[in-house]
Amino acid sequence: MEIIDGRQFLFCRVDRGEDLLKSIIKAIEDTKLSTGVVVSGVGSLLKARIHMVSSNDFPPKDDFLDFEGPLEIVSLQGIIADGQPHLHISIVNRDFKSFSGHLEEGCLILSICEVAIAKVDDPKVTRTVFPGTKVGKLIRLSS
């Protein structure tokens, strides 16, 4: 992985065989990014692991899904709050079937992935959970 750290953006190049989520977390840690927005992510995957909600309950139940490549990343976006990413990914296979969900560890890069992260100085945000759940909600950090 290579990180290109600019004033307003981080650009991350994630290389073959690297785990996409682990690489993004490492870039966040290495640059000490607290708040940001993943605005773009494009590339290809050897395999993918995502989760999506599978019920209308609250908190909802999650289904974890695994896919074998080759897969194309058509979209990657999300919010980084207090250094913690919440990211969603859309992928497509060779049969042009698309799948979307919450990015999980286990998405391994096929050739390359390029990720752009906008840095946010103000406001700083974090997540707390709804009472009795593990469901996070975004709140502003006090100064």
| Core vs surface per residue 85-98: b (16+ CB within 10 A) or e | bebbbbbebeeeee
Residues in the chain: 143
Q: Percentage of residues in the chain with pLDDT exceeding 90?
A: 90
Beta-carbon count within 10 A of 70 CB: 12
**Confidence bin at 52 (pLDDT 50/70/90):** very high
56-94 pLDDT tens trace: 999 889 999 999 999 999 999 999 999 999 999 999 999
Report d(CA 77, CA 69) in Å as an integer.
21
Beta-carbon count within 10 A of 10 CB: 22
**Confidence bin at 45 (pLDDT 50/70/90):** very high
Report d(CA 103, CA 78) in Å as an integer.
10
110-129 pLDDT tens trace: 999 999 999 999 999 999 98
CA dihedral angle for residue 11, residue 16, residue 18, residue 21, rounded to 10 degrees: 50
15-28 pLDDT tens trace: 999 999 999 999 99
pLDDT of residue 133: 83
